[in-house]
Amino acid sequence: MIDIIKKQYQLTAKDADELKEVSDALFISKDKLTFNYENPLGSGVCSTVYRGFLSGPSPLINLTGLIETHDFQDCDVAVKVALHFGDDEVDQLFREIEAMKVLQYNRNVISMLGWRMLNGKPALIFELAEQDLLRYAKMLMSIDTKEIEFKTIISILWQIAKGMEFIASKNIVHRDLAARNILLTNDLQAKISDFGLAVINDSGIKESSVPKKLPVRWLSIEAIVEKLFSEKSDVWAFGVLMYEVFIMGQDPYAGIPTEMILRFLQSGERMSRPRLATNEIYELMCRCWEGNMETRPKFEELVLILHNLLEDEAGCSRYYNELEFLSENEERRVPLNDNNSIALEILDDDIL
């Protein structure tokens, strides 16, 4: 496999050795993996995903040495099998392994546990999640609006923003951030997946070799026009992802032909506020869709904004307001005696 990738990408000897080292470290032997071809979990243009079982520890445990990865042994897994092994599959495999080499582990990024060849085609093994965010958003259409838990939606968006903050900190641009590529566990932990279009952005933001097919409806203006990809183009896509959730899984720019989207955006138009979104949420979407990439927020700022919204939705912020009110007013009327003061100091020491 490495020889094919080396030829495809004309890698230097050093790059090929590094890729081989990581690939070998993530290799899973045949006797450690079982799965059923008859019941696929899902299928795409380039691959099909099956449920499988991994015996023993996954290679990721040894690669990272993190306690958080110790659950990835003797566990159910998702097995992503390429339909072919042509240029597109080589490209996706190369990008996924490269991203894995850099990211290794984050709780809001799907973990690649290893890989192997199956019937002459590459198969990537990931931790198992139960559904994707797009399916979850479409499910909201069957629920009465009054019964939708908005704090759960905001929690999912906050987790995605945290995962993307981590990805951006590693100089990786995802380029395919969308509801369909966010996986959810049973307890609604969000995990960013599908790094087949990702690029490691070490020196600049202009991609010299752009894939043939890109998700135009999730792309920023500069990505469409100038082929510029950065954290800020991923932020734009995050705004579209937010729109997908609050429009309950409907397509973005519904009714607008793909070839007309750029003209629509360059004229200053943006998608209108979804019925489920508050004005505050819609304003956040529009900030992600600023034409000038420099004025868009970074994921670090989005994490903070969504965390504050999550606290407000959970009713936590009012407790802080009440405490502040007490500290300003009640303290003057009910002074602490000496014994209380000593007890508080001791408690503070214990906490520290």
**What is the pLDDT, as a whole number, of residue 16?**
54
**What is the pLDDT, as a whole number, of residue 210?**
63
Within 8 A by CB and 6+ apart from 98, the residues are: 19, 198, 200
Structure tokens at 234: 């991923």
- Annotated active-site positions, please? 176
Please state the φ and ψ torsions of residue 347, each to the nearest 5 degrees: -60, -40
Judgement on whether residues 55 and 143 belong to the same structural domain of the protein: no
**What is the pLDDT, as a whole number, of residue 165?**
98
Q: Which of 296, 283, 89, 96 is closest to 192 using CA atoms?
A: 96
**What is the pLDDT, as a whole number, of residue 321?**
46
**What is the pLDDT, as a whole number, of residue 57?**
94
Where residue 283 sits, what CATH number does that domain have?
1.10.510.10
Judgement on whether residues 275 and 175 belong to the same structural domain of the protein: yes
Where residue 44 sits, what CATH number does that domain have?
3.30.200.20
Judgement on whether residues 13 and 118 belong to the same structural domain of the protein: yes
Judgement on whether residues 230 and 263 belong to the same structural domain of the protein: yes
Alpha carbons 166 and 105: distance in angstroms, whole number: 10
Judgement on whether residues 227 and 340 belong to the same structural domain of the protein: no
**What is the pLDDT, as a whole number, of residue 203?**
46
Judgement on whether residues 268 and 308 belong to the same structural domain of the protein: yes
Global pTM reads 0.82
- How far are the Cα atoms of 19, 139, 166, 229, 307 from residue 170, in angstroms, in the given order? 18, 34, 7, 15, 22
Q: Which of 112, 91, 88, 89 is closest to 100 using CA atoms?
A: 112
**What is the pLDDT, as a whole number, of residue 327?**
47
Judgement on whether residues 265 and 308 belong to the same structural domain of the protein: yes
Alpha helices in the chain (DSSP H): 2-9, 13-25, 59-64, 87-103, 133-139, 150-169, 221-226, 231-246, 261-266, 279-288, 299-314, 317-333, 338-351
Judgement on whether residues 166 and 232 belong to the same structural domain of the protein: yes
Q: Which of 233, 238, 246 is closest to 182 using CA atoms?
A: 238
**What is the pLDDT, as a whole number, of residue 219?**
97
Judgement on whether residues 114 and 248 belong to the same structural domain of the protein: no
Tell me the residue range of the domain where 168 lies. 131-314
Neighbouring CB atoms inside 10 A of 20's CB total: 16
Overall domain count for the chain: 3
Judgement on whether residues 190 and 294 belong to the same structural domain of the protein: yes
| Mean pLDDT, the chain cut into blocks of 10 residues (352 residues total) | 50 55 75 85 80 93 90 94 70 75 91 84 87 95 88 96 97 96 95 90 55 87 94 98 97 96 97 95 98 97 96 62 48 44 36 38
Of 127, 155, 186, at which residue does a domain stop? 127
Judgement on whether residues 196 and 220 belong to the same structural domain of the protein: yes
Judgement on whether residues 164 and 57 belong to the same structural domain of the protein: no
Strand partners, 161: none
